[in-house]
Amino acid sequence: MSDNTSPRPASGVSRRQVLGAAALGAAALGGSVAGAGQASASASAPASAASAPAVTERRVRAVVVGTGFGGGVTALRLAQAGVSTLVLERGRRWRTGPNATTFCRFATMDNRSAWLTDHSVVGGDTTPVWTPYTGVLEAVTGNGMTAMCGAAVGGGSIMYHGMTLQPTKANFATSIPVAAGLYDDLDRWAYPTVARMLGISTIPYDVLAADPYKSSRLFREVAPKAGLTPFEVPLPIDWSYARGELTGQYEATYTTGDIAFGVNNGGKQSIDVTYLAQAESTGLVEVAPLHVVRDLAMDANRRWVLSVDRIDTGGTVRERIRVTADAVFLNAGSPGTTRLLVRSRAKGLIPDLPDAIGTRWGNNGDRIWAWINPDGDAGTRQGGPACVGGSDPASAIPLTVVHAGSPVQQPGVTALTVVGFGIVDGAGTWAYDADADDAVLTWPADADAALQQLIAARMRAIAAAGGGLMIDTDAGGPSTWHALGGVPMGEAVDLAGRVLGHKGLYVLDGARIPGSTGACNPSMTIAALAEHSMRAIVRQDLGRVF
């Protein structure tokens, strides 16, 4: 087998073609990140304003910041408890349906793909090509790591593949030891609640047997030969839409794996159409898109004050809003929530915030590889979402490997995307940069080295068993779509997400999970922990704290 960083091309295929195919395949899942540091606006930097708008004052009982897995759960459970709630989301609302053209396609990316930049944040090219827009993805560049973050009503559930995995009890305890005692409750009712709300299921036999899923079947066939135990990935998908694509009823989206920026055909049970839709139907929840939270402070009466910009889709500030609330639930994703609290502490906006804020951050062990020119038939197109995977029960560090269909192929080269992730320590830290008025991530180069050696060995075993070669697409610049930590449980918040020493301030998203989620994608664990915490908060804090 050739060295994974310097592959020898197959006969008749140039090295440039091989590397190009690897980059295209990986970029479709975020593995080739570009130009993030040149973003014209971020979650923390104010958008430009033609004039300084007057400040609008709002007084509310509860505010939820962010609409992803933590925010959606929080909004619904507050509403069901009778709490009038304002939900602030920096991104826009994206509505889909059969044959919709809501999201751009990977082969024809436009400004809908990126959050307020003039170029793509995936694919490797930083040349300005479009007018900045409030697109679905922000790439937050740090020292040694780039974190990919969703920006939309529904958060990361809009553009994730949907891998809804529950960790084992042992792996959960290894990943999040401080919360190990919660697992039995999570397993008994919280994880099943999330599964029911999202309508998860594995790929049906007839869909998996169709031509566009040859690459999935190939991975499933080779995985046992590489020492992996294959499994089918639970996904929040209404498979009738994929079947409709196979019969020609709908334009292909699922069946070409072209879902990196969202699923046009509908049928994806994301947070916006499940938890948030139910929350809004109560009449007690107001979801406010294109509202960017700039700062969070405590006033003299120990109430929470949020400085918010309402922007248009070009990033221009249309209104400045000062929201005063009795309770604030931070669910802006690990980078968003962490950056907000690090700024608040550094600028003295909230006194006595825990020292642990800005620590225990991790990448969930993410690594994206390209499997080039396997011996078997991978077909001419690769269906999605990522529906098959493999685990290694004998691994010294728990890990999981999943195949995701690649929507773009180079002529003469077959490239399959294969993703590895596992348990890592939260070794990353965030520090305040006064010049940028932002927090910056630092991820040590060797923080996940032991895990990555095991993932690399498993990838090489796949190529040895199934032919072709493996290319580590993250070797030149690591990235993650599974940012975790920064406001860790037990050190910055309690097990219910209450910020220590600060009544009415909560963190219920991935920021409170230190580093990884038991060799699984984080979404299900973030949502299950939010369900568990909201049950405690409604019972213990409602009417007392807010």
Going by C-alpha positions, the residue among 273, 274, 325, 278 that lies closest to residue 63 is: 325
Residue 55, SS3 per DSSP: strand
- Strand pairing report for 429-433 and 438-442: antiparallel
The span from the CA of 19 to the CA of 48, in Å, is 39
The span from the CA of 162 to the CA of 167, in Å, is 15
Residue 410 amino acid letter = Q
The span from the CA of 529 to the CA of 513, in Å, is 10
The span from the CA of 163 to the CA of 268, in Å, is 12
The span from the CA of 489 to the CA of 126, in Å, is 37
CA angle, residues 126, 128, 134, in degrees to nearest 5:
95
The answer to whether 400 and 390 have CB atoms below 8 angstroms apart is yes
pLDDT of residue 5: 38
pTM over 0.85: yes
pLDDT of residue 14: 57
Residues in the chain: 546
pLDDT of residue 486: 98
Q: Give the list of residues 6+ apart from residue 407 with CB closer than 8 angstroms, or none.
A: 28, 105, 106, 107, 256, 257, 258, 259, 260, 381, 382, 384
The span from the CA of 253 to the CA of 103, in Å, is 10
The span from the CA of 405 to the CA of 211, in Å, is 13
The CB-side HSE value for 109 (13 A sphere, CA atoms) comes to 29
Query: H or E segment at 338?
Result: helix 333-346
Backbone angles phi, psi at 459, to 5 degrees: -65, -40
Residues pairing with 507 in the sheet:
330
pLDDT of residue 364: 98
Backbone angles phi, psi at 181, to 5 degrees: -70, -10
The answer to whether 450 and 149 have CB atoms below 8 angstroms apart is no
The span from the CA of 406 to the CA of 413, in Å, is 12
One pLDDT digit (tens) per residue for the chain, 546 residues: 334 433 344 445 555 555 555 555 555 555 555 543 333 333 444 444 455 668 999 999 999 999 999 999 999 999 999 999 999 999 999 999 999 999 999 889 999 999 999 999 987 778 999 999 999 999 999 999 999 999 999 999 999 999 999 999 999 999 999 999 999 999 999 999 999 999 999 999 999 999 999 999 999 999 999 999 999 999 999 999 999 999 999 999 999 999 999 999 999 999 999 999 999 999 999 999 999 999 999 999 999 999 999 999 999 999 999 999 999 999 999 999 999 999 999 999 999 999 999 999 999 999 999 999 999 999 999 999 999 999 999 999 999 999 999 998 888 899 999 999 999 999 999 999 999 999 999 999 999 999 999 999 999 999 999 999 999 999 989 999 999 999 999 999 999 999 999 999 999 999 999 999 999 999 999 999 999 999 999 999 999 999
**Strands of 388-391's sheet, edge to edge?**
229-232, 388-391, 399-404, 415-422, 367-372, 469-472
The span from the CA of 191 to the CA of 193, in Å, is 5
pLDDT of residue 411: 86
End-to-end CA distance of the chain: 62
Going by C-alpha positions, the residue among 518, 532, 522 that lies closest to residue 170 is: 518
The answer to whether 309 and 320 have CB atoms below 8 angstroms apart is yes
Task: Tell me the C-alpha to C-alpha distance, in Å, between residue 451 and each of 193, 229, 410, 511.
Answer: 31, 18, 30, 22
